[in-house]
Amino acid sequence: MSKIGIAVCGNSGIDYAVHDKRIRVFRSLLIVEEKEYEDFIEINADDFYKTLVERPNIDVHTAQTSTGAILKMYEEMKADGYDEIICITISSHLSGTYQNAVLAAKMMEDTPVHVFDSRTLSAVEAKMAFTALKMSDAGKTVQEILSELEYIRDHHHIFVTVETLHFLVKNGRLSNAAGFFGTMLKLKPLLEVSKEGKVVTVDKIRTTQKARESMLSKFMEEIKGKNVEIFIIYTNNFDEAADLKDRMMENPEIKDIKLVPLTPVVGCHAGPGTMGLGYIEVK
């Protein structure tokens, strides 16, 4: 029986969860005023969002993990005795991480590496890593694990609201024209992570509160009749996320909701005040 190793990128936010350290995490870089910080290790979410609020025009961008760094991780996992590796990445439409992981995999001569494009991010990507490790421990094959990851990929949905369009425009996640008109009209877009793994606009709304109400309404309608795991993603707005959780927990059909911080390398592109509401459908 093959010993299967599991790796996932830090865009999953798995660093902020209690997890088995056998899951290898490779992290992107946050570059603040030309100084590099390894996500989570050298800069945490609370400090980062506080800086963005205080200095919204600060020069900040990200860089995905290099092919060389990922290759080194694969080689270390091989040295630890793993016969095969499953590497889970953020959506290939949101980062070059997937491509770098694939390039590194091709350099592994005698250890199969299966790079899985999650087509998503944050809590769903972390769920994939937890599931993969659990199945590996249970003696499941690589193909059985990948099949389960595909199920999660095809049976989840994340809605997102942002406080400002500034960061989406600045980091190329929204066209300059859309950003200009949105700012001028003070629109607050309701976004979603599409089935293809892209961040797309669902609706444009005049206030943050109305955008969140629309998000909640669409979410509740969508989960009717489904057995789901629910999560709320927050940035510098933990109290507001907790209030939303309390409100949703008044529904007797909802048993639990996880609160999940958005890691800085993802939050860099959305900005402080961003909030996500998502679910994973359980079989």
| CATH, domain range 4-28+64-153 | 3.40.50.10170
Q: So what's the pLDDT on residue 204? A: 84
Q: Which tens digit of pLDDT belongs to each residue from 227-283?
A: 999 999 999 999 999 999 999 999 999 999 999 999 999 998 888 999 999 999 999
Q: So what's the pLDDT on residue 97? A: 97
Q: So what's the pLDDT on residue 176? A: 46
Q: What is the mean pLDDT of the chain?
A: 92
User: Could you tell me the two tokens for 185?
Assistant: 């009209």
For tokens 């609020």, name the residue. Answer: 53
Q: Which tens digit of pLDDT belongs to each residue from 187-230?
A: 788 999 999 999 888 888 888 999 999 999 999 999 999 999 99
Instruction: Please list, residue by residue across 20-52, b when 16 or more beta carbons sit within 10 angstroms of its beta carbon and e when fewer do.
Output: eeebbbbbbbbbbeeeebebbeebbbeebbebb
User: Could you tell me the two tokens for 62?
Assistant: 């990200």
Instruction: Give the confidence band of 121 by pLDDT, cuts at 50, 70, 90.
Output: very high
The CA angle 90-237-248, to the nearest 5 degrees, is 85
Q: So what's the pLDDT on residue 175? A: 44
User: Is 208 or 7 the better-scoring residue by pLDDT?
Assistant: 7
User: Which range among 127-136, 182-191, 264-273 has the greatest average pLDDT?
Assistant: 127-136
- Considering the chain, tell me which residue range(s) the CATH 3.40.50.10170 domain(s) occupy: 4-28+64-153
User: Could you tell me the two tokens for 71?
Assistant: 């290759």
Amino acid at the residue 241? A
Instruction: Give the confidence band of 178 by pLDDT, cuts at 50, 70, 90.
Output: low
In a 3-state reduction of DSSP, which class is residue 86? Answer: strand
Query: Any idea which fold 156-281 has?
Result: Hypothetical Protein Tm841; Chain: A;domain 3 (3.30.1180)
Beta bridge partner(s), residue 26? 9
Q: So what's the pLDDT on residue 157? A: 98
Percentage with pLDDT > 90 across the chain: 76
Instruction: Give the confidence band of 81 by pLDDT, cuts at 50, 70, 90.
Output: very high
Instruction: Give the confidence band of 179 by pLDDT, cuts at 50, 70, 90.
Output: low
Pairing between strand 257-261 and 228-234? parallel
Q: What are phi and psi of 65, to 5 degrees?
A: -60, 135
Q: Which tens digit of pLDDT belongs to each residue from 161-177?
A: 998 777 776 666 554 44
**Taking the model in full, what pTM does it have?**
0.94
Widest pairwise Cα distance in the chain: 60
Q: So what's the pLDDT on residue 20? A: 79
Cβ–Cβ under 8 Å, residues 122 and 13? yes
- Considering the chain, tell me which residue range(s) the CATH 3.30.1180.10 domain(s) occupy: 156-281
Q: Report, as an integer, the average pLDDT of 69-82.
A: 98
Q: What are phi and psi of 92, to 5 degrees?
A: -65, -15
Distance CA 161, CA 80 (A): 42
Percentage with pLDDT > 70 across the chain: 93
Cβ–Cβ under 8 Å, residues 271 and 224? no
Distance CA 51, CA 54 (A): 5
Q: Report, as an integer, the average pLDDT of 26-37.
A: 93
Q: So what's the pLDDT on residue 237? A: 96
DSSP state of 43: B
Q: Which tens digit of pLDDT belongs to each residue from 87-102?
A: 999 999 999 999 999 9
